[in-house]
Structure 1
Amino acid sequence: MLLRILSILFPLFAITALGFVVGRRRRPDLSHVNKLNMDVFTPALSFAALASKELHLGTYLPLMGATFALIVGSGLVGWAAARLIGMDPKTLVPPVMFNNCGNLGLPIAVLAFGPEALAAAVVMFTVSNVLHFSFGAWLLDHHTRLSTVWRSPSVLAALAGLVVGVMGWTVWPPLLLSIRMVGDIGIPLMLFALGVRLAESRIEAIGVGVFGAVLRPVAGMAIAWALLQLVDLPAREQALLLVFGALPPAVLNYMFAERYGQEPDKVASMVLIGNMAALVFMPLALAVALRP
């Protein structure tokens, strides 16, 4: 089991470590590359995963509902914790509520459960993205228009892929292969960019950073376990939900905090320490998810 977990996590952390080393030594500006990844490569990945097979949307509805409940439940835990320690909920709730289901979640799904798990992982990623770009943005700025979520290429591509899959339409194989090849750039680039981002970040609020970094996976795994007692999911989706719950805070939380001026130094610390803590929490989640 330990060797299996190591073989799953090693490529993720190896590519992230490479990005960290390059970020330290060369300090590359990946702003344009990251935009390409969000606007081109990840949408292609989402579309190819959902359009490459005939989908029965009804089979994913329980997973979508469980994912929604996990995200909302994590947000409520973050809100209660913020009130308890006298912290601004706008600072703590997003990092606890929205996890790194892109940079880490999609690669782990493929490496741990095979390419067949990618479609389900993309569905979870889409639910999280829709909530993050709508409620997450509104939470930080109540003047934000919720309709802007539909401008996200990742969301649009996932919805297009769902339509193609549900309708049973066949995409011309050479075209689908081209889209898949473009999408294949996304996952390693996500990991590399995460390493560069970690190299650029600074830990300034250690106490808050550790608190948020631990609360995110602990609350997520506890809520995922509780949901699995209530929702009947296939074995693979049960494992995916547990791993989803253990993921660290999303890097996007820092970008949102910086954009809206919501204590970005504290959010950056939670994101940085949280992704480092994934070295502990991800093996734990995989050990539970992969148990016989």
Structure 2
Amino acid sequence: MNLALTVLEIVAPVFLLAGVGFAWVRLGFEYRIQFVTRLAMTLAVPCLIFTALMKTELDKAAIGWFVLAALAGHALLALAGAALVRVMQLERRSYLAPFIFGNTGNLGIPLSLFAFGEAGLGYAVAMLAVSAVLSFTFGIYLVAGEGGGGKALREPMVWATLLGALFLWQGWQTPQFLTNALDLIGQMAIPLMLITLGVAVARLTPGKTGLAVLLSLIKVTLSAAIGWGLGLAFGLDYTAFGVLVLQLATPVAVTSYLLAEKFEADAQAVAGMVVVSTLMSVAALPLLLSLLLEL
């Protein structure tokens, strides 16, 4: 009973806020998702990443090993996804990127924070940074067949990560008044991301739902297994282990749909994976959390 209550306390705020966004749209209220997304990704999330890295008390070596494990996790998912796409004779441009990249921002960060505290947040933003850089480079290549290095260098999240890593490495701190201001801006990120996730799911028109259910089930199972195996292989501490497993197992990122739409892949099929995997995570992530909290 205590474990179930703990899991509920962690996941309920996350899905309730996403539900607010879903209900907001269904009730017919205006939500300018392009403006809110730009505000979050250009200002709020970079401030959250920078301050989390600058203020973290995590060991630098521990973060380094976690980043290596995160890179390995994405690489293994890419290999497994490529094999799956080939065996099932699916279009690589549409299906491989969604299989690799999870929703490490909108869902992964708040879940990691609520489950593992400030230490979990530090690891979670490191995972988001890894995922974002790979998504804006390798992810764009998979969907569009062209490099995305220039796109990655234009992303404030990337520069916030590099600057935060520099401050962490050197042990620097911004003046307190500036830290307080950046903290306030960063605090917008989590509620904005969760509400926007609910809005995006409400507005998406899913396609090929039967295939989406199968792929989403394979993705969450394989992702959790890969995260668990890498956590053991890299000897990660309890918090890093939990965040790695949780973040890799997050549902398909909404950015995968946006890339498919932009580069004329099968956007409706990707929308199906986003919606189905997000709904599936309502049951899958609490179950995974209960296993992690029992360690």
**TM-score range with shorter-chain normalisation?**
over 0.9
Output the TM-score relative to the length of structure 1: 0.96
1:229 partner SS: helix
Post-superposition offset of 1:228: 2.5
Q: Please state how far the C-alpha of 1:116 moved relative to its aligned partner.
A: 2.4
Q: 1:152 to 1:273 in 2, by over 3 A?
A: same
Q: Tell me by how many angstroms 1:212 deviates.
A: 2.4
Which residues in structure 2 correspond to 1:66-145 (within 5 Å)? 66-145=69-148
C-alpha contact 1:54 1:167 (8 A) present in aligned 2 = no
Give matches, 1:179-190, under 5 Å. Answer: 179-190=182-193
Matched residue of 2:174: which SS? coil
How many angstroms apart in 2 are the aligned matches of 1:142 and 1:85?
21
Aligned to 1:153: 156
17-26 vs 45-54, which moves further: 45-54
Question: Which whole-Å deviations, capped at 9, do the CAs of 1:17-62 have from their partners, x for residues lacking one?
Answer: 1110001112422211111111000001001101124665322111
SS of structure 2 residue aligned to 1:154: helix
Structure 1 contact 55–162 (Cα < 8 Å) conserved? no
Secondary structure of the corresponding residue to residue 248 of structure 1: coil
Equivalent residues of 2:119, 2:239 under 8 A apart: no
Letter in 1 for 2:252: P
Who is 2:168 aligned against? 165
- Kindly provide the CA deviation profile for residues 147-179 of structure 1, in whole angstroms up to 9, marking residues without a partner as x: 331111011111101101110112101110100
In structure 2, distance between residues paired with 1:196 and 1:215: 26
Distance of 2:148 and 2:91 partners within structure 1? 22
Q: Check conservation: 2:136, 2:148, Cα contact below 8 A.
A: no
Give the residue type in structure 2 aligned to 1:4: T
Q: Secondary structure at the match of 2:233?
A: coil
| Distance apart, 1:143 and its partner CA | 2.8
The answer to whether the aligner puts 1:210 opposite 2:213 as a matched pair is yes
Deviates more, 1:70-79 or 1:102-111: 70-79
User: 1:10 maps to which residue?
Assistant: 12
Deviation of 1:125 (Å) = 0.8
Alpha carbons 1:54, 1:166 under 8 Å: kept = no
Q: 1:245 to 1:54 in 2, by over 3 A?
A: closer
**Shift in Å, 1:204:** 2.1
CA distance in 2, matches of 1:195, 1:243: 20
Moved more, 41-50 or 109-118: 109-118
Percent of pairs with identical residues: 30
Deviations 1:75-114 (A, max 9, x none): 2111111111111122111111000000000000111111
**What is the alpha-carbon distance in structure 2 between the residues aligned to residue 57 and residue 100 of structure 1?**
25
- The one-letter code of the counterpart of 2:46 is P
- Structure 1: distance between partners of 2:98 and 2:104: 12
Decide which moves more: 145-154 or 155-164.
145-154
Q: CA deviation at 1:282?
A: 0.3
**Alpha-carbon distance between aligned partners in 1 of 2:147 and 2:242, rounded to the nearest angstrom:** 35
TM-score of the superposed pair, with normalisation by structure 2: 0.95
Q: Number of residue pairs matched?
A: 292
Whether 1:250 aligns to 2:253 is yes
Tell whether the 8 Å contact from 1:164 to 1:170 is kept in structure 2 after alignment. Answer: yes
- CA offsets, 1:180-238, max 9 Å, x none? 11000000010000111111011221122212221221110111122133111111101
Q: CA 1:276 to 1:149, structure 2 compared with 1: closer, same or farther past 3 Å?
A: same
Range moving further from structure 2, 10-19 or 203-212: 203-212
Q: One-letter code of the match for 1:79?
A: A
1:217 and 1:246 in contact (8 A); partners too: yes
Aligned counterparts of 2:121 and 2:279: Cα–Cα separation in 1: 24
Q: Quick one: which amino acid aligns to residue 7 of structure 1? A: E
1:229 to 232, 235, 240: 232
Question: Any gaps of 5 or more consecutive residues in structure 2?
Answer: none
Partner of 1:32: 35
Mapped to 2, the partners of 1:4 and 1:113 lie a distance apart of 12
Establish whether residue 264 from structure 1 lines up as the match of residue 267 from structure 2.
yes
